[in-house]
């Protein structure tokens, strides 16, 4: 039996899990594409940076990131500022490709890994050995398997017992996210301000923030509103956002799932991480951040227990409890942002009266570093 630990999936969660395994002194085997284009940008809140510090990579990632100094909330209809929250702790945007590159470089520096350009098709456990069959029909024996292959991957269905179609149905919503990256040189200087900007409208919200020489823009709205000329409807009468009504700007539409935490994270020496374990709505900048916290916790558990089964049990027990609270807040935040009519006006009035205090209290436990990782040093 091999003493290395396998990872299914080579996205952010999988690469982070690999660095955790290597950081705990184990060797790892990766299953997934060896070359892939990771599009998009993530915001990393203080807890994400705390996890990167535990993994020993915060400084390397920060060299690729754009620091954001405040969160500003505005009324999309009348352009009024509802709240402005200074960010004293580290909060920054980073391209997914850059984050993945830093993680991949750390993995390759160790020389204690193998990488199979295939996906996991089957897995079973015999005693303490995990038997993995790849799509290329290769058979591998490892001490454990971390399934970080996404919500539609092999791991979630295998470990939770849910079928792929059942998972898809349980996560479906009527919301859609429309995303675009625009060069700052093509927009007014307003967009280059180092802040995460949230615009709350009638059943819709817009987020934009700078990343390098560009700005990342995300519009979240019901699918029924994402029709022809939706940009004109929401941007044309808003002076700061008016340039975004340009029909030449390309928008990429992606379905927006509800939060979905699997009840079962572990099956013997096989365990979930990242979206495979928890689908995180993007309303609190926690998607990538929670995957990084998974990795930091995994590293601590593997360092504490030589027995993989005990390490995975400790990891799953701790992270499943922590993530459930965050996912619930992200779900509630999304519903509040989607308010329309009277509820939307009441939301805006509450933010106008005490927005900073409300936001600080709401985000305090979300952005706090995981207390379970306090024993780790950078």
What radius of gyration do the chain's Cα atoms show? 21
Residue bearing the bigger pLDDT, 35 or 264:
264
Pick the range with the lowest mean pLDDT from 238-242, 308-312, 324-328, 368-372. 368-372
Task: Give kind and range of the element (H or E) at residue 5.
Answer: strand 5-8
User: pLDDT exceeding 90 applies to what percent of the chain?
Assistant: 71
* pLDDT bracket for residue 377 (50, 70, 90): very low
- Reduced to 3 states (helix: H, G, I; strand: E, B; else coil), residue 238 is coil
Burial bucket for residue 352 (CB in 10 Å: 0-12, 13-18, 19+): middle
User: CA-CA distance, 54 to 296, in Å (whole number)?
Assistant: 6
* pLDDT bracket for residue 271 (50, 70, 90): very high
pLDDT for position 370: 59
Q: CB 174: neighbour CB atoms within 10 A?
A: 11
* 144 has a pLDDT exceeding 80: yes
* 236 has a pLDDT exceeding 50: yes
Over residues 64-91, mean pLDDT: 94
In degrees, rounded to 5, the angle at the alpha carbon of residue 60 between the alpha carbons of residues 46 and 291 is: 50
Q: CB 94: neighbour CB atoms within 10 A?
A: 22
- Reduced to 3 states (helix: H, G, I; strand: E, B; else coil), residue 74 is strand
Over residues 62-77, mean pLDDT: 96
Task: Give kind and range of the element (H or E) at residue 209.
Answer: strand 205-211
pLDDT for position 372: 59
Q: CB 67: neighbour CB atoms within 10 A?
A: 12
User: CA-CA distance, 47 to 259, in Å (whole number)?
Assistant: 19
Over residues 319-331, mean pLDDT: 87
Over residues 139-153, mean pLDDT: 94
pLDDT for position 359: 87
Pick the range with the lowest mean pLDDT from 20-29, 353-362, 368-377. 368-377
pTM: 0.92
Burial bucket for residue 205 (CB in 10 Å: 0-12, 13-18, 19+): buried
* 259 has a pLDDT exceeding 90: no
User: CA-CA distance, 338 to 6, in Å (whole number)?
Assistant: 40
* pLDDT bracket for residue 166 (50, 70, 90): low
- Reduced to 3 states (helix: H, G, I; strand: E, B; else coil), residue 254 is strand
User: pLDDT exceeding 70 applies to what percent of the chain?
Assistant: 93
Question: Which domains are seen in the chain, by residue range?
Answer: 5-65+94-170+258-336 (3.50.50.60)
User: Is residue 113 within 8 Å of residue 18, measured between CB atoms?
Assistant: yes
**Do strands 66-67 and 270-272 pair parallel, antiparallel, or not at all (unpaired)?**
unpaired
Q: Output the DSSP codes for 138-149.
A: -EEEESEEEE-S
- Reduced to 3 states (helix: H, G, I; strand: E, B; else coil), residue 145 is strand
User: CA-CA distance, 103 to 98, in Å (whole number)?
Assistant: 9
pLDDT for position 172: 67
């Amino acid at each position: 039996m091999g003493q290395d630990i396998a990872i299914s999936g080579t996205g952010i969660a999988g690469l982070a899990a690999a660095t955790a395994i290597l950081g705990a002194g184990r060797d790892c085997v990766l299953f997934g594409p060896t070359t892939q284009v990771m599009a998009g940008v993530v915001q990393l809140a203080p807890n994400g940076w705390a996890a990167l510090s535990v993994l020993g990579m915060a400084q390397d990632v920060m060299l690729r990131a754009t620091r954001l100094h405040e969160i500003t909330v505005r009324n999309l209809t009348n352009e009024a500022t509802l709240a402005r929250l200074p960010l004293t702790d580290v909060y920054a945007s980073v391209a997914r490709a850059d984050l993945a590159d830093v993680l991949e470089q750390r993995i390759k520096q160790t020389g204690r890994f193998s990488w199979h350009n295939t996906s996991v098709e089957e897995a079973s456990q015999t005693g303490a050995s995990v038997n993995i069959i790849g799509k290329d029909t290769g058979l591998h024996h490892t001490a454990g398997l971390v399934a970080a292959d996404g919500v539609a991957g092999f791991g979630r269905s295998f470990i939770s017992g849910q079928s792929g179609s059942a998972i898809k149905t349980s996560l479906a919503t009527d919301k859609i996210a429309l995303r675009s990256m625009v060069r700052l040189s093509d927009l007014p200087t307003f967009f280059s301000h180092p802040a995460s900007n949230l615009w709350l409208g009638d059943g819709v919200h817009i987020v934009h923030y700078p990343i390098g020489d560009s700005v990342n823009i995300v519009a979240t709205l019901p699918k029924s509103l994402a029709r022809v000329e939706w940009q004109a409807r929401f941007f044309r009468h808003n002076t700061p956002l008016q340039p975004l009504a340009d029909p030449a700007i390309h928008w990429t539409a992606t379905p927006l799932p509800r939060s979905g935490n699997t009840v079962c994270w572990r099956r013997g020496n096989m365990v979930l991480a990242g979206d495979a374990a928890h689908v995180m709505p993007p309303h609190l900048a926690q998607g990538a951040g929670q995957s990084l916290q998974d990795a930091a916790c995994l590293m601590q558990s593997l360092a504490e227990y030589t027995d993989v089964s005990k390490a995975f049990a400790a990891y799953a027990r701790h992270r499943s409890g922590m993530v459930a609270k965050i996912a619930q807040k992200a779900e509630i935040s999304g519903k509040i942002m989607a308010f329309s009519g009277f509820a939307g006006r009441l939301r805006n009035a509450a933010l106008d009266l005490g927005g900073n205090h409300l936001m600080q209290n709401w985000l305090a436990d979300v952005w706090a570093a995981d207390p379970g990782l306090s024993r780790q040093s950078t």
